[in-house]
Structure 1
Amino acid sequence: MDPPPDSAGEFRNWLELPRDVIALIFLKLSAIEILTSAQRVCSPWLKLCKDPSLWLSVDMRKPDNKWVDNQLERMCRDAVDRSCGQLVEINVEKFGTDELLRYIADSSSQLKRLGLVRCYGVSDEGLSGVAAKLPLLEELAISYCSLSNEALEAVGRCCPHLKSLKFNCLRYGKFDEEAFAIAANMSELRSLQLFGNMLTKDGLQAILDGCPHLESLDLRRCFSLSLVGNLGRRCVQQIKHLRLPHDSTDDYEFNGGWLQYVRLRLRWQQCF
């Protein structure tokens, strides 16, 4: 069936749209959509898809299951190359590795925002090793990766401009190590999310002392905390935007990951 005509009774020729209009449309597409579809339409679109301005931000979260990890890694490297060193933000889900993280850091000295989701191939040594190559980093979001306080300490030492940290990882029995690392090395933080963390009142006290500029603190599902008495009052007085352990998780973007966390934690407890 032929496509319906537009209001003028003619078919729309998308190839005749102004270049700046097409570029705005492409900015709404994911990196995967551009690399696997848009650039294959015609030569002018291929040329536009190589413009570094389209690759200042690269989002490769929630990739289609039809792509295997090595394909996604090649696409990610291609996207980084196309930024020509101007990459400002990148988010990677599931297929991230130490090697890929090094490639990103070596090619992206202007990087300000980094997100890693379920990247079990990224280790403490891997993130610690590239931290010094990301001196402008302002936002770091780590969710469900196998990382610990060692990586946080390195990032805190090497990234003095860090203002926002999300650290939502599956770790058991470590309690306040991550909190102490944040308190000792990230004094400029304005926003902190520790969803489902095992920190206690000692770790929270250290964060409040070591991060005097903190304005937003998300402690949802941090059930080892007791926010009664002076500590609870201090949180209310010092933090403008406070999420408490029993607050709703309806707006938490990884609710499925949280359910997985609960199941794994229950299994861990059954081993003892």
Structure 2
Amino acid sequence: MEDESNFRNWAELIPDALGLIFNNLSIQDVLTVVPRVCKSWERAVVGPYCWQEIDIEEWSKNMPAEYVDRMLQLLITRSQGSLRKLNVTGVSNKDTFTLIANNAKSLQSLGLPRSDMDDVAVEELAEMFSNITVLDISYCNNMGDIALDAFGRHCKNLTTFRRAMHPLEVIDKVCQDDEALTIAASMPNLKQLEIPYMLVST
């Protein structure tokens, strides 16, 4: 029988290591199952170590807006300002967008597909996202060239930008050249650009 001293007690792992391990679990398991295992795991889940990267995009697709808002309030608060990555679908109100902005000091990657934020909200809060390098605002129909310009002006480190549109949602638009020109003018450091179904003249 192999010496048990060669095995480390999982309860003794540092919170950073536990956070990396728990990132491979579903959000439901991390919030409901993991805390019941032992006290050290419970402390890790309550602390910021598990929430430096929050990816609830798939979970939020089929959830009511108020559930998404409450989940973001819980998880972003737990991140304690250490949030580096956030992916979520359907942010529906300015209060939640403001919460994200107020905790974006360390944020590098932001995905907000199908969110209802408009040009006014983005223009007001874009400067809070100055450190992001990756931005996804696909299917955000209330955002236009004003929002894109605000992100471009304030997010100088952007290298990846995604702005996918659904073909049925742009069917009534003549073109979106204004958005394309804004991207070209305000996001000069892009290395990856995805704009499927954006109506751009050639």
Correspondence for 1:139: 134
Question: Which structure's CA Rg is the greater one?
Answer: 1
Correspondence for 2:72: 76
Q: Which amino acid aligns with 1:194?
A: I
Question: What count of residue pairs does the alignment treat as equivalent?
Answer: 188
In the alignment, structure 2 segments of 5+ residues that lack a partner are 3-8
Q: State the shift of 1:49 in Å.
A: 0.3
Using a 3 Å threshold, how does the CA distance of structure 1 residues 197 and 58 change in structure 2: closer, same or farther?
same
Stretch of structure 1 that moved more, 23-32 or 176-185: 23-32
Structure 1: 4+ residue segments shifted above 6 A? none
Q: State the shift of 1:18 in Å.
A: 4.0
Q: What SS class does the counterpart of residue 114 from structure 1 fall into?
A: strand
Q: Does structure 2 retain, via aligned residues, the 8 Å contact 1:91–1:116? A: yes
Using a 3 Å threshold, how does the CA distance of structure 1 residues 178 and 66 change in structure 2: closer, same or farther?
closer
In the alignment, structure 1 segments of 5+ residues that lack a partner are 1-6, 9-14, 202-272
Higher relative contact order (CA 8 A, sep 6+): 2
Give the distance between the partners of 1:149 and 1:112, measured in 2 at CA: 22
Q: Which amino acid aligns with 1:44?
A: S
Correspondence for 1:178: 179
Give the distance between the partners of 2:128 and 2:18, measured in 1 at CA: 34
Correspondence for 1:220: none
The TM-score with structure 1 as length reference comes to 0.62
Q: State the shift of 1:48 in Å.
A: 1.3
Taking the TM superposition and a 5 Å limit, the aligned residue runs for 1:88-167 are 88-119=84-115, 121-146=116-141, 147-167=143-163
Give the distance between the partners of 2:62 and 2:195, measured in 1 at CA: 32
Correspondence for 1:269: none
Correspondence for 1:19: 13
Q: State the shift of 1:32 in Å.
A: 4.4
Using a 3 Å threshold, how does the CA distance of structure 1 residues 122 and 161 change in structure 2: closer, same or farther?
same
Q: Does structure 2 retain, via aligned residues, the 8 Å contact 1:102–1:130? A: yes
Give the distance between the partners of 1:199 and 1:101, measured in 2 at CA: 29
Identity %: 28
| Cα root mean square deviation, aligned | 2.4
48, 52, 72: which one aligns with 2:48? 52
Correspondence for 1:242: none
